[in-house]
Structure 1
Amino acid sequence: METYTRKRGHRARLALSPAQEDRLNRQAHAGRALWNLLHDLFSMCGRERRPSLAYLEGEIRWARKNVDWLGMLPAQAAQAVLKTYHQAWVRCWEGKGGAPGFKSRLRSALSVDVPQGRDLRVVRVHRRWGMVNIPKLGRIRFRWTKDLPGVSRRCPAGRITGARLTKDALGWHIAFRAEWAVKDPPPQAWSESHVGIDRGIIVPIALSDGTSYDHRPWLTATEQACLLQAERQATHRRRYRKTGKQTSKRLHSVYDRIEGLRARAKRRVLDWQHKTTTAIADRFTLVSVEQLAITNMLKSARGTLAAPGTNVSQKSGLNRRIAAEAWGRTVRLLDYKVTARGGALVRVPAPGTSLRCSVCNTITPGSRESQANFMCKNLACGWSGNADHNASRNIDRAGLELASAAGRAVVRQT
């Protein structure tokens, strides 16, 4: 049985004191300013005369010794900023991404990298809390929600290779980078457990076996009312903001409230997606999903001045609901979880899956009566049922055909 290295990340919430949070904010802003300094230097020199990495490393060491606010940034974090900036340019030159740009103080996410795992010294001190060492900050508590390799008794093998501290509207978090050696799981028989998945809005996830996974609204009625009120306040206060003038503290406070509510909704989305995809990966070996062009589905219906669109507001509401479900992330989570268990995920072409009858395998006009109901207009069939489950059965059948044609090849996610 083949052995390979699996790499995963785990994100946990940090419990910082006010002094530690202030110092970490200063470190993150120092890293952002270092990025901007590198960007200015590269922009002035041009591609042909850009300085070497060795020269830049020496300049960064000198600046950390002689500039107080740059000295707050740990040496390894400063080297990580240089490495990340250089890799961004390499990807740009290879045509894999755009050129790196200036990082604004207000629009850029704060982050500090700890590239060496040996400096973290992670230990578990309580059922709910662990301790981690952060350079220039000391020992910090973090919320323990998952066993870490090399630390937990249940996961003794493996090691933590590094971490990244990030800040969002809900506070500071730490994302551990871990790796460990695992044995390639034996391939499972697809005929034993296979399922097709139809993603929707009314029914978020419908399975071909008749079950479905639903969720509550990501925000409660009270939270939705608070979000609407904050958005109206922001719109009102933006009217009195003069062009070129600094944003007022009152407007910043409203922005913070909006970001906090949206971050809370996103956290609930991720929690539901992880639990749902884990349950599906534990039950089935072959999972088939539609290959949707989500970017094209989210295009606006506004049109142009010469040819204005119709039902623009309805299409905008539909786009918001599709984006809130995060269908692409659901497939990515399913992909690595099913593969890690010895199964496979198959992407099925989307055309015809919702219009075809899953019993007689024919497409007749008018069979899709509504968003929720399907009634086959073929006189020899006449089957009726839920439209989402009908589509999921078609996806399951097409996935089995594609998997049988492709053989037993499984793409391993590391």
Structure 2
Amino acid sequence: MNSELGLIKRQFGHRARLALSPAEIRAMDDQAHAARTMWNCLHAWWQMMPKSKRSLAAADQAIRQARGDIDFLAALPAQAAQAVLKTYFQAWKNCWDGRADEPGFKARFRSVMSVDIPQGRDLQIKRVHRRWGVVNIPKIGRVRFRWSKDLPVGKKANSDNRITGARLVKDGLGWHIAFRVQTLERVPEPHQGPEVGIDAGVNLPLALSDGNHQDHGRAPRLPNGDSDRDKWLNAEEKAKLLRLERQAAHRKSLRKPKEKTSRRLHRTYDQIRALRAKATRRSIDWQHKTTTALARQYGTVVVEQLNITNMVKSARGTIEEPGRNVKQKSGLNRSISQEAWGRTVTMLAYKTARYGGTLHKVPAPHTSQRCSACGFVTPGSREDQATFACKNPDCGWSGNADWNAARNVLHLYRIGLVEVPAAGRAVVRRACRVKPATAR
């Protein structure tokens, strides 16, 4: 960052769809499987070697020998193999620092197929049409990709504005390329917009304290009360997904134990995966558009510090102590996971900073049970999932439950009860005790 010139370096990613021929798809699949095999070879080498010999140089020598001994590993470019090595060692550093679990074996059908291109100069990007560009992929050649965002290429590229690398990723809709972009931008002026508290929910995705709620128009519950697992699909797509799931279950039931999965069943799984990927793409698109609008409108955004991992734990219990309402809790867990609250907060964090605003987190306990008008937690006030009616005889305020929680979230920020990261964990800084939130 150059404070004298008021400039700051910004790094972000941009994902684009690739247009590949069947031969190119097979070649990229071979590279992805070689990268996964390289990871598994490194993991096996790490487990066999004593701790004193686990070094980056020794691992580099091991993968060089593996590329010479195993023929199909040659499909992976040398730079991509080095990227696998660096990623594996970084995974262990993240584990030692307490940020992730130990790296493990990557299974063939449960792992994301991806290949890294660490050098941006190898891409040789060029725009050839209003909607399409071409990129050079090592050992594949020139490939078209969907041009949906201006990239620093050609005369626009320099030492401060450039593409530093890319990553090839495959999902249910095919292969995509994720560019790593570095730009030099002006430091944004402080955002003078208003403050807003946001409560993330299931019935109402984003409830705002000023009443400007954000709803994606997708009903979280079916008429029969069951959880709608595919609310981002239309009626025809839902019917097709249900038919494919039943078809896959039937074909799986006919497979004998230890029998290889048929190609017909694999094709059915691919069709299911494509529909799931389409729903995820629509969800992410809505989140991007919504968080961008919020970052432009509000100068201070306040959210709850949620432990989503604990919120979506199963209620199944154990054999000795079985859980209750397991099916209902499972449906709620699916709805929470589909809303992707953590991804929404991540988007708000970097978008508010881009527009000069700030994002703050406050403690989550009792924000949905406390009345935003009188400040008391009265039993029975939360009558149902959608309505809050204060049972305090001196208050009697009623309104939308998510709106009530959003008002409480903003009030906690205004009195100074915010989460401050310290020593790798979140601690609560208390400025004063919680008082009734009368003024809004």
TM-score by length of 2: 0.84
User: Is 2:37 aligned against 1:36?
Assistant: no
| CA displacement, residues 151-195 of structure 1 (integer Å, 9 cap, x when unaligned) | 586999611100000111110000101112233323335xx4111
Change (3 A) 1:313 1:155: farther
**Superposed displacement of residue 356, structure 1:** 2.3
Contact 2:362–2:419 (CA under 8 A) maintained in structure 1: no
Residue 168 of structure 2 aligns with which residue? 165
Distance 1:93 1:355 in 2: 38
The residue that corresponds to 1:291 in the other structure is 305
Q: How does 1:46-195 map to 2 (within 5 A)?
A: 46-50=50-54, 52-58=55-61, 60-61=63-64, 64=67, 68-150=71-153, 158-189=161-192, 192-195=193-196
Partners of 1:144 and 1:359 in 2: CA distance: 50
Task: State the 1:254 CA deviation.
Answer: 2.0
After TM superposition, give the deviation of residue 367 of structure 1 in Å. Answer: 2.4
| 5+ long unaligned stretches in structure 1 | 407-414
Deviations 1:244-266 (A, max 9, x none): 22112222122112211111111
The one of 319, 332, 348 aligned to 1:334: 348
Q: Is the 8 A contact 2:362 2:417 kept in 1?
A: no
Give the 3-state SS of the residue equivalent to 1:213 in structure 2.
Answer: coil
Q: How many angstroms apart in 2 are the aligned matches of 1:95 and 1:365?
A: 39
Q: Is the 8 A contact 1:197 1:392 kept in 2?
A: yes
In structure 1, the residue matched to 2:394 is 380
Contact 2:191 2:298 (C-alpha < 8 Å) held by counterparts = no
Q: Percent identity?
A: 58
1:349 equivalent in structure 2: 363
CA contact (8 A) 1:158 1:179 kept: yes
Q: Which residue identity does 1:292 align to in structure 2?
A: L
Following superposition, the deviation at residue 334 of structure 1 comes to 0.6
Structure 1 residues 296 and 63, CA, compared in 2 at 3 Å: closer, same or farther? closer
The CA deviation at 1:63 is 5.7
The yes-or-no answer on 1:20 pairing with 2:24 is yes
Deviations 1:214-271 (A, max 9, x none): 1233011221222222222222222232332211222212211221111111111111
Are 1:274 and 2:288 counterparts? yes
CA deviation map 1:95-143 (0-9, x unaligned): 5443333222222222111100011111222221111111122211111
Retained in 2: the 8 A contact 1:9–1:178?
A: yes
Q: In the aligned structure 2, how far is the partner of 1:129 from the partner of 1:302?
A: 50
Q: Which moved more, 1:62-71 or 1:365-374?
A: 62-71
Deviations, residues 309-349 of structure 1 (Å, cap 9, x unaligned): 22211111111111111111111111111122221111111
Match of 2:197 in 1: 196
From the superposition, tell whether residues 365 and 135 of structure 1 become closer, same or farther in structure 2 (CA, over 3 Å): same
Match of 2:255 among 222, 241, 253: 241
Q: Give the aligned length.
A: 403
Tell me, yes or no, if the aligned pair for 1:373 and 1:386 is still in contact at 8 Å: yes
Alpha-carbon distance between aligned partners in 2 of 1:349 and 1:395, rounded to the nearest angstrom: 8
Distance 1:352 1:90 in 2: 37
| SS in structure 2 at match of 1:346 | strand
* SS at 1:242 equivalent: coil
Cα RMSD between the aligned structures? 2.6
Choose from 307, 321, 329 the match for 1:307.
Answer: 321
- What is aligned with 2:233? 219
- SS in structure 2 opposite 1:41? helix
Displacement after TM superposition at 1:150 (Å): 4.3
Distance 1:88 1:20, change over 3 A: same
The one-letter amino acid paired with 1:72 is: A
Q: Matched residues in 2 for 1:404 and 1:64: separation? A: 52
Kept after mapping to 1: 8 A contact 2:363/2:417:
no
CA distance in 2, matches of 1:90, 1:289: 30
Aligned-partner Cα distance in 1 for 2:99–2:411: 36
Contact 2:361 2:418 in 1 (8 A): no
Q: Residues 21-75 of structure 1: CA distance to partner in whole angstroms, max 9, x if unpaired?
A: 111111222222222233333333332344x544554564566567542332212
Give the whole-Å Cα distance in 1 for the aligned partners of 2:318 and 2:105. 32
**Contact preservation (8 Å) 2:305, 2:419:** no
Deviation at 1:274, TM superposition (A): 0.6
Q: Cα distance 1:168–1:387, how it changes in 2: closer, same or farther (>3 A)?
A: same
- 2:198 is paired with a residue whose SS is strand
- What letter is aligned with 1:291? Q
Q: 2:211 and 2:53 mapped to 1: Cα distance?
A: 64
SS at match of 1:402: coil
Equivalent AA in structure 2 for residue 121 of structure 1: Q
